[in-house]
A and B are shown apart, each in its own frame.
Chain A
Amino acid sequence: MILPPKVLLPRLRVVAALLVSAMAAACSGEYSTLDPAGLEADRVAILFWVMLAGAVAIWIFVIVLCRSVVVRVPGENAERQARRLILWGGAVFPGVVVTVLVVFGVGMMPDLRRPADGPTIAVSGERFWWRIAYDVEGGPGVVRNLPAGGVSSANEIWLPVGRRTEILLSSPDVIHSFWIPAIAGKMDAIPGRVTRLVVEPTRTGVFAGACAEYCGDTHAQMRLRAVVVPEEEYAAHVAAQAEPAAVTEGKGPELFLRSGCGACHTVRGTPADGRVGPDLTHVGGRSTLAAAILPMSVETLADFIRSPAHLKPGVEMPAFGMLPEEEIEIIAEWLGSLE
């Protein structure tokens, strides 16, 4: 039975208040699409709120209609009314709604996919981390491999605010998907192809991202950070990343090389030039470790060296717990100092 408006309205108000507060809670969060910090995320959030309002209205309409057709005693014209209901409610109404929506939504796309006017960054999704190379040559057209060169880094992507940065994506192993929800939608990184995503951050800050395409057991621990900064700061960061490591002499690098770490990792300025794992030249300068799942500190570095699979099941790096404890600590300390 339908409640009288006097009773119904206050109740609806309570429900609405609860909903709004729930949505406000949903808005915040470093991973949230509804707390936008990029042009695309911003437009899509508006699109979502508009569609949500429409959807709620349509749903309430259908439910109220359902109730009234069930309760109503059919009159003389019932059959004709029923046929009209099918035509107008079932065909014309959805037809108009989706037409408007398609025009609105597809109309958004050209602006969202405008060409870049900022730097080009190559991002390679790898099991289970992100290889990043700043300042690569973009170039038009379809290519099958990411451009070589650039300033290499990992798991933390810096972006200049207010510029349209082109991100070129690929993968040497399986399909991954690059997603920083607060800035823009996702784009797959596909072996044998290079896909492009142009992002335009609208405010500075640190935002979280994640791999969105299932890529194996460790998919859940394949995350990343986006650091959005003013343009000059971006340029300075890339220049700093291009420098060799801060400390290349001493016990730390010695043990690092002796333990074979250089077979997989590069530390520019030392003989370590492995290409399998992340570039560690400036690892201590990053805010997180192991594809953004741990805070960066000497302790977490040491823990990770000891037993990476314990912190990140399925990780491809072997455990180095067989090294003497003090050696692990020295290596971790050295890596932590590489800012």
Chain B
Amino acid sequence: MTHPEEGATGPDQNDPEVRRGQEERLRKVWAAPAGWRYLSSVNNTEVGLWYVGTAMIFMLFAGVLALGMRIQLAVPENDFLSADLYSQFFTMHGTVMMFLFAIPIFESLSLILLPQLLGSRELPFPRVTAFAFWCFFVGGVFVCGSIFFGAGPKGGWFMYPPLTTQERFTPGYGPDIWLLGLSFIEIAALVAAVELIVGTLKCRAPGMRLNLMPLYAWYVLVVAGMILFAFPPLIAGDILFELERLFDWPFFDPSRGGDPILWQHLFWIFGHPEVYVIFLPAIALLAMIVPTFARRPIVGYSWVVLAAVGTGFISFGLWVHHMYTTGLPAISLGFFNAASEVVAIPTGVQIFVFLATCLAGRVIYSVPMLFAAGALAIFVIGGLTGVMVAMVPFDWQAHDSYFVVAHLHYVLIGGMLFPVVAGIHYYWPMIFGKKLSARAGWYAFWPMFIGFNIAFFPMHFSGLMGMPRRVWTYPEEMGVALPNLISTIGAFIFAAGFLIFVLDAVRPRKDQPYEKRNPWDAGTLEWLAEMPGEAWGVRSVPIIETRYPLWQQPNFIEDVSAGRFYLPDAEEGRRETIITSVLAAKPECVVRVPGPSHVPLVAAVLSGLVFIFATFHWWLLTGATAVAAGAVIIFWLWRGTAEIPEKPEKDVGLGLTLPLYRSGPASVGWWAMFITMFGDLTAFLSFLFGYYYFFTLHADFPPPGTEGPGLFWPSVAAGVFVVTWAVAELSKRSNRSGRVAAARLLMGLAAAGALAAAGTLLWGPYATRLDPVAHVYPATVWVIVIWVALHAAIGCVMLLYCLARSLAGRMTPDHDKDLSNVTLYWHFIGLQALLAVATVSLFPLAV
């Protein structure tokens, strides 16, 4: 064990003068900008707060919509809302709760918590965080705003085609607003997920091996990984959907070979993991709260980790249970029935871990624990009805009825909203230095708990009595008037309880004194936070040897606060944090994270406008803003990334010297590229899935009389791709070995090769005159080749960027992050190009 005192060679941390100097420098470096410049802040603490706040406001908005629906359904044949408005209300309610509340609240809470939990000063890409937030903000306001113009989407939150793809069924821009607005938000969510994964893998305090990570961080890893693989199929689906709406490519139109069920597959491959993306973070919050109030470490740490990872994997094998009534063969129904039930086991493990921890500890009462208990009581009902609806024969009755509405609200409110409220109560002092009122918490809890059950329990019976979901009214003779009236009353009681919570949160608390440090006497790192908080995160980056350092490492808080660990100072006036290795968390280098900037805000607004203009088919403006957004992003990269430090390494304290620049797998940028490209590859595989799906659906695919893209041009394209890929790799090696001129030449050649590759790939279907509007086969081929060609074009820009960096002296043989990341990108594109050619050219020959 290394006690911080040993081997200390730097400044004397016991000297208060030395410490005061360090603190002043740290405070200055990490200070949030004031006044109007506040919006240029990129620090995880500020951006995280905006993010949480915005998500909560969207949640309240969606809640008000829900109350509107409950008023409409209070009595049979009511006319409070028209059918049209009611459809917009339920579509928007589901969409906002899912995409603008449930996912962002996890990502935003994690942005705030993660650096604290990991003993890091900041996540690796603060400006990317800010970009993701602003994208979310712009996209969310756009989507929500549409309802005030009566132009909101109204196809239900899963937007089944052909209802939503064809103008004659759904006139107007509603579906486009949904698709483009949400695609934009989904991209932001993906960006944040990449940030969270890299943060968890690379920004842990030295010594925090994977099996010492706080459980919350494990959940972040699992959930962000699920987002990474679950969102791309939906984005691919969105692209197909929008191509059909904008250009009439018939992916979901059965009259030209398409199939509406493909959308359901793509949507639910996303949609089912999504449920766990929402539920697991809530469990993660409980995994932090329960040990604190049971006054002991969690029992069964490895059980929880295994259960979380297991749930993540299983959740990708369940999507068909949303499609039991689409007439699938009995054998697949049986398989998915069994698979859906299996998930009860890891879920049971996670719940029983908490019960076991309470059993082995001495539980004390607190508001977070009250909400946790409420969550348990509600969620267990949701889980049990989940076991019921996963049974195929029962689901034939319950599917698309109010039983499902009841089930999903028990799961989401018990498995997400209550734990989030518990988490907000728990973490409020960490962020603001003051607790929320325990009394208000109690008064909020009971109406919420009782009102929730009054509102949603009767819905089980409304559903079994024959009430389908998404009906704007129902007849008296259906016999569901009484349960509906009860539900409406319950909904208002629930809302009143939630209002008490919100009012307590927003009321001014100037007179309330700050809490003592670690006010709940917790054991995990985030409670190092000073009261009131300091912007620097941790005073010094500690060495971690246990799972609950505040309980298990003696004198820990004092050593950290006295700056006796790493990076106690900001000598060069830069924001710095330590990067460690993925498994063992050995220090690898110091990363300098960027400070405040307006660029992410500008880039996000411009990118948002691209999507908004495209919604209304203003193509000229769309093109212009796309170019502008691209230029701003390149400016951002040029000025703010891969900066060459003024010295190769620095002393971080305790006798340790770390490099300031590393490329390849030791750098966070490389990991971000690697992880992003996995998401990108998943989207591409979703298109290939579409191709093979149509192949299995049709007896003749390609349809008779249609000539595919041929063999010649795609083969040439594959060759050019391979050569370009090799040249890019070669340029990296030449640059590393100091042959800069050769490297520059190769970069130029590779850039030209990229364009040639894209051109030849597109030439195949063009030369054989494949018409994407005529049939789904040419449309699918075109989508695949355009996707790869676009990636090649972006790869060309990347190579030219590297060339320019090299010429400008911003990239040298020793400092080659840019080229190293671009080469990594090309590995993925090379692979995609080969898969694309094999599918569109070779596969039809083989069958």
Contact = CB atoms under 8 A, between A and B. Distances in A.
Contacts of B373: 66, 70
A70 B465 contact: no
A71 to B, nearest CB: 8
A89 B163 contact: no
Interface in B400-454: 400-401
Interface string A212-254: 1111111110000000000000000000000000000000000
B471 A22 contact: no
Contacts of A191: 162, 254, 260
Which 3 residue pairs across A and B have the least CB separation, nearest first?
A: A192-B254, A185-B396, A31-B466
Contact of B338 (A69, A74, A95, A106): A106
A51 B394 contact: yes
Contacts of A29: 465-466, 478-480
B526 to A, nearest CB: 25
Interface in A41-97: 41, 43-44, 47-48, 51, 55, 58-59, 62-63, 65-66, 69-70, 72-74, 78-79, 81-83, 85-86, 89-91, 93-95, 97
Contacts of A69: 355-356, 358-359, 363
A78 B362 CA distance: 11
A177 interface: yes
A190 B154 CA distance: 19
A21 interface: no
Contacts of A212: 325, 399-401, 468-469
B685 interface: no
29 contacts: A22-B461, A33-B464, A44-B396, A44-B397, A55-B388, A62-B355, A66-B358, A69-B355, A69-B363, A85-B359, A86-B356, A89-B348, A97-B387, A102-B341, A184-B396, A185-B393, A188-B327, A190-B327, A193-B254, A195-B326, A210-B466, A212-B468, A213-B160, A215-B163, A216-B87, A217-B84, A219-B471, A220-B471, A313-B83
B362 A173 contact: no
A144 interface: yes
A187 to B, nearest CB: 6
B63 interface: no
A65 B351 CA distance: 12
Contact of A186 (B330, B357, B358, B397): B397
B376 A82 contact: no
Nearest to B155: A214
Contacts of A319: none
A138 interface: no
A81 B359 contact: yes
B394 A220 contact: no
B360 A82 contact: yes
B259 interface: yes
A175 B325 CA distance: 11
A304 B141 CA distance: 41
Given A44-B396, A51-B387, A74 B327 contact: no
B83 A127 contact: no
A62 B466 contact: no
Contacts of A220: 83, 468, 470-474
A28 interface: yes
Interface of B: 82-84, 87, 154-156, 160, 162-163, 169-170, 254-255, 258-261, 299-300, 303, 325-327, 330, 333-334, 337-338, 341-342, 344-345, 347-353, 355-363, 373, 376-377, 380-381, 384-385, 387-388, 391-397, 399-401, 461, 464-475, 477-480, 482
B83 A102 contact: no
A314 interface: yes
| Highest count of chain B CB atoms <10 Å: which of A23, A63, A74, A94 | A94
Contacts of A160: none
A330 interface: no
Given A31-B479, A55-B388, A219-B470, 13 more contacts: A26-B464, A32-B466, A62-B355, A74-B362, A85-B352, A97-B344, A98-B342, A99-B341, A127-B169, A185-B395, A195-B327, A208-B477, A212-B468
A86 B259 CA distance: 46
Contacts of A83: 299-300, 356
Contacts of B351: 62, 90
Contacts of B344: 94, 97-98
A190 to B, nearest CB: 6
Interface string A13-24: 000000000110
Interface residues of A, number: 90
A174 interface: yes
Contacts of B387: 51, 55, 97-98, 101
**B contact face: mostly helix, strand, loop, or mixed:** helix
Given A79-B360, A174-B169, A33 B397 contact: yes
Contacts of B326: 188, 190, 195
A86 B468 contact: no
A40 interface: yes
A305 interface: no
B474 A48 contact: no
Contact of B465 (A32, A72, A93): A32
A214 B163 contact: yes
Given A95-B345, A98-B341, A187 B358 contact: no
Nearest to B154: A217
Nearest to B298: A82
A171 B170 CA distance: 17
Contacts of B327: 169, 187-188, 190, 193, 195-196
B400 A108 contact: no
B455 to A, nearest CB: 16
Contacts of A151: none
Given A30-B477, A86-B352, A109-B330, A211 B468 contact: yes
A113 B330 contact: yes
A84 to B, nearest CB: 8
Contacts of A112: 393
Nearest to B333: A109
A78 B359 contact: yes
B397 A59 contact: no
A181 interface: yes
Nearest to B91: A214
A90 B362 contact: no
Contact of B472 (A32, A102, A174, A217): A217
A59 B384 contact: yes
B358 to A, nearest CB: 4
A326 B764 CA distance: 67
B311 to A, nearest CB: 13
B451 to A, nearest CB: 19
Nearest to B327: A195
Contacts of B470: 214, 219-220
Nearest to B261: A190
Nearest to A26: B461
A313 B400 CA distance: 22
Contacts of B359: 69, 72, 74, 78, 81-82, 85
A33 B465 contact: yes
Contacts of B377: 63, 66
A177 B260 CA distance: 14
A149 interface: no
Nearest to B328: A195
A26 B385 CA distance: 18
Contacts of B84: 217, 313-314
A28 B471 CA distance: 21
B104 to A, nearest CB: 26
Given A85-B359, A186-B396, A195-B326, A47 B391 contact: yes
Given A90-B350, A91-B348, A105-B393, A177 B325 contact: yes
Nearest to A111: B393
Nearest to B304: A86
B396 A89 contact: no
Contacts of B396: 40, 44, 184-187
| Highest count of chain A CB atoms <10 Å: which of B163, B357, B359, B373 | B359
Given A85-B352, A90-B350, A314-B83, A109 B345 contact: no
Nearest to A73: B362
